[in-house]
Amino acid sequence: MTEERKERPQSPQDKAKLEALKRSWAQKREMTDRLSHIKTKIGVYSGKGGVGKTTVAVNLAVTLAQKGYRVGLMDADIDCPNVVKVIAATQPSTHEDGKFIPAEAFGVKVMSMAFFQQNEEEAIIWRGPMVHNAINQFLQTTDWGDLDFLVVDLPPGTSDAPLTVMQTMSLDGFIVVTTPQVLAKLDAKRSLNMIRKLNVNILGIVENMSGDMFGSGAGEELAKETDTPFLGRLELRREYRDGSRPTVLLSKKVGQEYDHIIGNVLPRLEALKQPAA
Protein backbone atom coordinates (compact mmCIF):
# COMPACT_ATOMS: atom_id res chain seq x y z
CA MET A 1 0.00 0.00 0.00
CA THR A 2 1.18 3.50 -0.75
CA GLU A 3 1.75 5.63 2.23
CA GLU A 4 -0.73 8.46 2.53
CA ARG A 5 0.82 11.82 1.83
CA LYS A 6 1.02 13.88 5.00
CA GLU A 7 -0.29 17.40 4.87
CA ARG A 8 2.43 19.99 5.28
CA PRO A 9 1.98 22.03 8.48
CA GLN A 10 0.86 25.60 7.82
CA SER A 11 3.64 28.10 8.32
CA PRO A 12 3.07 31.32 10.32
CA GLN A 13 3.37 33.27 7.05
CA ASP A 14 0.66 31.14 5.41
CA LYS A 15 -1.60 31.59 8.43
CA ALA A 16 -1.06 35.35 8.34
CA LYS A 17 -1.92 35.48 4.61
CA LEU A 18 -5.06 33.43 5.17
CA GLU A 19 -6.20 35.67 8.02
CA ALA A 20 -5.53 38.78 5.92
CA LEU A 21 -7.59 37.28 3.10
CA LYS A 22 -10.45 36.52 5.48
CA ARG A 23 -10.39 40.08 6.82
CA SER A 24 -10.38 41.46 3.28
CA TRP A 25 -13.42 39.40 2.31
CA ALA A 26 -15.21 40.40 5.52
CA GLN A 27 -14.51 44.06 4.78
CA LYS A 28 -15.83 43.72 1.23
CA ARG A 29 -18.99 42.03 2.45
CA GLU A 30 -19.57 44.77 5.00
CA MET A 31 -18.97 47.52 2.42
CA THR A 32 -21.31 45.82 -0.04
CA ASP A 33 -23.99 45.61 2.65
CA ARG A 34 -23.61 49.28 3.56
CA LEU A 35 -23.78 50.42 -0.06
CA SER A 36 -26.72 48.13 -0.89
CA HIS A 37 -29.01 50.56 0.95
CA ILE A 38 -28.04 53.38 -1.43
CA LYS A 39 -30.00 53.50 -4.70
CA THR A 40 -27.71 55.81 -6.68
CA LYS A 41 -24.12 56.94 -6.13
CA ILE A 42 -22.96 60.03 -8.05
CA GLY A 43 -19.34 61.15 -8.19
CA VAL A 44 -18.50 64.85 -8.64
CA TYR A 45 -15.05 65.02 -10.18
CA SER A 46 -12.46 67.20 -11.85
CA GLY A 47 -8.90 66.78 -13.00
CA LYS A 48 -8.06 70.19 -11.55
CA GLY A 49 -8.39 71.62 -8.05
CA GLY A 50 -9.97 75.02 -7.55
CA VAL A 51 -12.82 74.67 -10.06
CA GLY A 52 -15.50 74.60 -7.35
CA LYS A 53 -16.04 70.84 -7.31
CA THR A 54 -16.91 70.76 -3.60
CA THR A 55 -19.30 73.70 -3.95
CA VAL A 56 -21.05 71.91 -6.80
CA ALA A 57 -21.26 68.64 -4.82
CA VAL A 58 -22.72 70.36 -1.75
CA ASN A 59 -25.30 72.37 -3.67
CA LEU A 60 -26.34 69.38 -5.76
CA ALA A 61 -26.88 67.34 -2.59
CA VAL A 62 -28.88 70.10 -0.91
CA THR A 63 -31.01 70.65 -4.02
CA LEU A 64 -31.83 66.93 -4.18
CA ALA A 65 -32.75 67.00 -0.48
CA GLN A 66 -34.99 70.03 -1.05
CA LYS A 67 -36.86 67.98 -3.65
CA GLY A 68 -37.65 65.33 -1.04
CA TYR A 69 -34.97 62.76 -1.79
CA ARG A 70 -33.00 61.00 0.95
CA VAL A 71 -29.47 62.24 0.34
CA GLY A 72 -25.99 61.60 1.69
CA LEU A 73 -22.79 63.51 0.95
CA MET A 74 -19.44 61.78 1.29
CA ASP A 75 -16.27 63.85 1.25
CA ALA A 76 -13.82 61.41 -0.37
CA ASP A 77 -11.08 64.04 -0.68
CA ILE A 78 -8.98 62.66 2.16
CA ASP A 79 -6.05 65.08 1.72
CA CYS A 80 -8.01 68.35 1.63
CA PRO A 81 -11.56 67.73 2.93
CA ASN A 82 -13.70 70.85 2.50
CA VAL A 83 -17.31 69.63 2.47
CA VAL A 84 -17.85 70.25 6.20
CA LYS A 85 -16.71 73.86 5.85
CA VAL A 86 -19.09 74.51 2.94
CA ILE A 87 -22.16 72.82 4.41
CA ALA A 88 -21.44 73.76 8.06
CA ALA A 89 -22.13 70.28 9.44
CA THR A 90 -21.61 69.37 13.08
CA GLN A 91 -19.89 66.20 14.36
CA PRO A 92 -21.26 62.71 13.57
CA SER A 93 -22.43 60.42 16.37
CA THR A 94 -21.85 56.70 16.91
CA HIS A 95 -23.89 53.54 17.48
CA GLU A 96 -23.17 51.27 20.43
CA ASP A 97 -21.30 48.98 18.03
CA GLY A 98 -18.97 51.82 17.05
CA LYS A 99 -20.51 52.52 13.64
CA PHE A 100 -20.74 56.20 12.70
CA ILE A 101 -24.05 57.96 12.20
CA PRO A 102 -23.43 60.77 9.69
CA ALA A 103 -23.90 64.36 10.68
CA GLU A 104 -26.92 66.11 9.15
CA ALA A 105 -27.16 69.58 7.66
CA PHE A 106 -29.92 71.08 5.50
CA GLY A 107 -31.51 67.67 5.04
CA VAL A 108 -28.26 65.98 3.91
CA LYS A 109 -26.31 63.28 5.76
CA VAL A 110 -22.60 64.17 5.76
CA MET A 111 -19.38 62.22 6.34
CA SER A 112 -15.88 63.64 5.94
CA MET A 113 -12.29 63.18 7.06
CA ALA A 114 -12.52 66.75 8.35
CA PHE A 115 -14.53 65.49 11.34
CA PHE A 116 -11.42 63.67 12.56
CA GLN A 117 -8.93 66.53 12.25
CA GLN A 118 -7.99 68.29 15.45
CA ASN A 119 -6.94 71.32 13.43
CA GLU A 120 -8.59 72.10 10.09
CA GLU A 121 -5.38 73.77 8.91
CA GLU A 122 -3.44 70.56 9.47
CA ALA A 123 -2.02 68.93 6.34
CA ILE A 124 -2.91 65.26 5.85
CA ILE A 125 0.17 63.73 4.24
CA TRP A 126 -0.69 60.15 3.36
CA ARG A 127 0.52 57.76 0.70
CA GLY A 128 -1.85 55.77 -1.52
CA PRO A 129 -2.37 52.72 0.74
CA MET A 130 -3.35 54.93 3.68
CA VAL A 131 -5.86 56.82 1.53
CA HIS A 132 -7.24 53.48 0.36
CA ASN A 133 -7.59 52.28 3.98
CA ALA A 134 -9.29 55.51 5.06
CA ILE A 135 -11.88 55.24 2.29
CA ASN A 136 -12.51 51.60 3.16
CA GLN A 137 -12.96 52.57 6.83
CA PHE A 138 -15.51 55.22 5.86
CA LEU A 139 -17.47 52.69 3.81
CA GLN A 140 -17.33 50.00 6.47
CA THR A 141 -18.10 52.08 9.54
CA THR A 142 -20.65 54.63 8.27
CA ASP A 143 -24.32 53.75 8.66
CA TRP A 144 -25.96 55.83 5.94
CA GLY A 145 -29.32 54.14 6.31
CA ASP A 146 -31.55 54.06 3.23
CA LEU A 147 -30.61 56.72 0.67
CA ASP A 148 -31.93 57.69 -2.74
CA PHE A 149 -28.65 59.43 -3.59
CA LEU A 150 -25.12 59.50 -2.25
CA VAL A 151 -23.16 62.39 -3.72
CA VAL A 152 -19.42 61.75 -3.53
CA ASP A 153 -16.98 64.67 -3.66
CA LEU A 154 -13.88 63.07 -5.21
CA PRO A 155 -10.27 64.19 -4.92
CA PRO A 156 -9.05 66.11 -7.98
CA GLY A 157 -6.51 64.72 -10.44
CA THR A 158 -6.04 61.44 -12.25
CA SER A 159 -3.73 59.59 -9.85
CA ASP A 160 -4.10 57.17 -6.96
CA ALA A 161 -6.64 58.92 -4.70
CA PRO A 162 -9.52 59.36 -7.20
CA LEU A 163 -8.70 56.00 -8.77
CA THR A 164 -9.10 54.30 -5.37
CA VAL A 165 -12.54 55.85 -4.86
CA MET A 166 -13.70 54.95 -8.36
CA GLN A 167 -12.63 51.31 -8.04
CA THR A 168 -13.90 50.86 -4.48
CA MET A 169 -17.33 52.46 -4.62
CA SER A 170 -18.82 51.31 -7.96
CA LEU A 171 -20.31 54.73 -8.67
CA ASP A 172 -23.34 54.90 -10.96
CA GLY A 173 -22.14 57.96 -12.81
CA PHE A 174 -19.88 61.01 -12.77
CA ILE A 175 -20.46 64.72 -13.10
CA VAL A 176 -17.30 66.42 -14.35
CA VAL A 177 -16.78 70.05 -13.32
CA THR A 178 -14.81 72.56 -15.36
CA THR A 179 -14.43 76.33 -15.43
CA PRO A 180 -14.15 78.45 -18.59
CA GLN A 181 -10.34 78.69 -18.57
CA VAL A 182 -8.32 76.77 -21.16
CA LEU A 183 -6.28 74.80 -18.60
CA ALA A 184 -9.36 73.79 -16.63
CA LYS A 185 -10.97 72.54 -19.82
CA LEU A 186 -7.86 70.52 -20.66
CA ASP A 187 -7.77 68.93 -17.20
CA ALA A 188 -11.49 68.16 -17.38
CA LYS A 189 -10.86 66.36 -20.68
CA ARG A 190 -8.19 64.28 -18.95
CA SER A 191 -10.74 63.43 -16.25
CA LEU A 192 -13.23 62.29 -18.87
CA ASN A 193 -10.63 60.11 -20.54
CA MET A 194 -9.74 58.51 -17.20
CA ILE A 195 -13.38 57.72 -16.43
CA ARG A 196 -13.90 56.18 -19.87
CA LYS A 197 -10.83 53.98 -19.49
CA LEU A 198 -12.41 52.59 -16.32
CA ASN A 199 -15.69 51.96 -18.19
CA VAL A 200 -17.74 54.06 -15.77
CA ASN A 201 -20.79 56.10 -16.81
CA ILE A 202 -20.45 59.84 -17.36
CA LEU A 203 -23.59 61.82 -16.55
CA GLY A 204 -22.28 65.03 -18.06
CA ILE A 205 -20.28 68.22 -17.74
CA VAL A 206 -21.00 71.28 -15.59
CA GLU A 207 -19.35 74.62 -16.30
CA ASN A 208 -18.77 76.53 -13.06
CA MET A 209 -17.72 80.18 -12.48
CA SER A 210 -19.13 81.24 -15.84
CA GLY A 211 -19.59 84.95 -16.64
CA ASP A 212 -17.80 88.19 -17.44
CA MET A 213 -14.81 87.50 -15.20
CA PHE A 214 -13.62 84.21 -16.73
CA GLY A 215 -15.80 83.97 -19.84
CA SER A 216 -18.07 81.07 -20.74
CA GLY A 217 -18.56 78.29 -23.25
CA ALA A 218 -15.72 75.91 -22.36
CA GLY A 219 -18.13 73.37 -20.87
CA GLU A 220 -20.26 73.22 -24.01
CA GLU A 221 -17.17 73.04 -26.21
CA LEU A 222 -15.79 70.17 -24.17
CA ALA A 223 -19.14 68.37 -24.30
CA LYS A 224 -19.17 68.57 -28.10
CA GLU A 225 -15.52 67.55 -28.44
CA THR A 226 -15.99 64.48 -26.23
CA ASP A 227 -19.58 63.58 -27.17
CA THR A 228 -20.67 64.09 -23.56
CA PRO A 229 -23.93 65.64 -22.30
CA PHE A 230 -23.70 69.26 -21.18
CA LEU A 231 -25.67 69.55 -17.94
CA GLY A 232 -25.61 73.29 -17.38
CA ARG A 233 -23.73 76.44 -16.51
CA LEU A 234 -23.26 78.03 -13.07
CA GLU A 235 -22.67 81.76 -13.06
CA LEU A 236 -20.07 83.36 -10.80
CA ARG A 237 -22.27 85.27 -8.33
CA ARG A 238 -21.64 87.36 -5.24
CA GLU A 239 -23.98 85.15 -3.18
CA TYR A 240 -21.24 82.50 -3.04
CA ARG A 241 -19.35 84.81 -0.66
CA ASP A 242 -21.95 84.13 2.04
CA GLY A 243 -20.76 81.01 3.85
CA SER A 244 -23.66 80.78 6.28
CA ARG A 245 -25.47 78.14 4.21
CA PRO A 246 -25.30 76.47 0.77
CA THR A 247 -25.85 79.05 -1.94
CA VAL A 248 -28.90 77.31 -3.43
CA LEU A 249 -30.69 78.33 -0.22
CA LEU A 250 -29.59 81.96 -0.54
CA SER A 251 -30.20 82.75 -4.19
CA LYS A 252 -33.23 81.98 -6.35
CA LYS A 253 -31.11 82.25 -9.50
CA VAL A 254 -28.53 79.78 -8.19
CA GLY A 255 -31.35 77.46 -7.16
CA GLN A 256 -32.74 77.60 -10.70
CA GLU A 257 -29.32 76.74 -12.15
CA TYR A 258 -29.05 73.65 -9.97
CA ASP A 259 -32.66 72.68 -10.73
CA HIS A 260 -31.70 72.79 -14.41
CA ILE A 261 -28.66 70.56 -13.84
CA ILE A 262 -30.63 68.01 -11.82
CA GLY A 263 -33.36 68.12 -14.46
CA ASN A 264 -30.73 66.91 -16.93
CA VAL A 265 -29.07 64.41 -14.57
CA LEU A 266 -32.15 62.44 -13.51
CA PRO A 267 -33.28 61.39 -17.02
CA ARG A 268 -29.67 60.52 -17.85
CA LEU A 269 -29.50 58.24 -14.79
CA GLU A 270 -32.74 56.55 -15.76
CA ALA A 271 -31.48 56.00 -19.32
CA LEU A 272 -28.24 54.46 -18.07
CA LYS A 273 -30.15 52.04 -15.84
CA GLN A 274 -32.17 50.71 -18.76
CA PRO A 275 -30.91 47.39 -20.16
CA ALA A 276 -29.14 47.64 -23.51
CA ALA A 277 -31.37 46.75 -26.46
| pTM, two decimal places | 0.86
Whether 240 shows a pLDDT value over 90: the answer reads: yes
**Mean pLDDT value across residues 180-203:** 91
Could you list the residue range(s) of the whole structural domain that residue 123 is in? 40-273
Residue 131 lies inside a defined structural domain of this protein: yes
Domain count, the chain: 1
Q: What would the DSSP string read from start to end of the chain?
A: -PPPPPPPPPPHHHHHHHHHHHHHHHHHHHHHHHHTTEEEEEEEE-SSTTSSHHHHHHHHHHHHHHTT--EEEEE--SSS--HHHHHT----EE-TTSPEEPEEETTEEEEEGGGG-SSTT------HHHHHHHHHHHHHHB---SEEEEEEEPPSSSSHHHHHHHHHH--SEEEEEE-SSHHHHHHHHHHHHHHHHTT--EEEEEEEEEBTTTBS-HHHHHHHHHT--EEEEEE--GGGG-TTS-GGGT-HHHHHHHHHHHHHHHHHHHHHHSPP-
Rounded average pLDDT over 195-218 = 92
Residue 202, domain member (yes or no): yes
The answer to the question of residue 1 being in a domain is no
Q: Flag whether pLDDT at 275 surpasses 70.
A: no
> Looking at 58-62, 91-95, 264-268, which range is the least confident one?
91-95
Q: Give the pLDDT of residue 94.
A: 85
Look at residue 22 and tell me if it is in a domain: no
pLDDT at 132 over 80: no
- Flag whether 18 is in a domain: no
The confidence score (pLDDT) of residue 131 equals: 75
Which pLDDT score is estimated for 56?
A: 97
* Residue 11 covered by a domain: no
Task: Look up the CATH number of the domain holding residue 165.
Answer: 3.40.50.300
Report the pLDDT value the prediction gives residue 23, as an integer from 0 to 100.
62
Q: Is the pLDDT of residue 54 over 90?
A: yes
What span, in angstroms and rounded, lies between the C-alpha atoms of 180 and 119?
34
In-domain check, residue 158:
yes
Stretch 243-259: mean pLDDT:
95
Q: Looking at residue 31, what is its pLDDT? A: 63
The average pLDDT across 151-161 equals 83
216, part of any domain: yes
Q: Which residue has the higher pLDDT, 141 or 120?
A: 141
The answer to which of 4-18, 68-82, 136-150, 217-231 has the lowest mean pLDDT is: 4-18
Average per-residue pLDDT in the chain?
A: 86
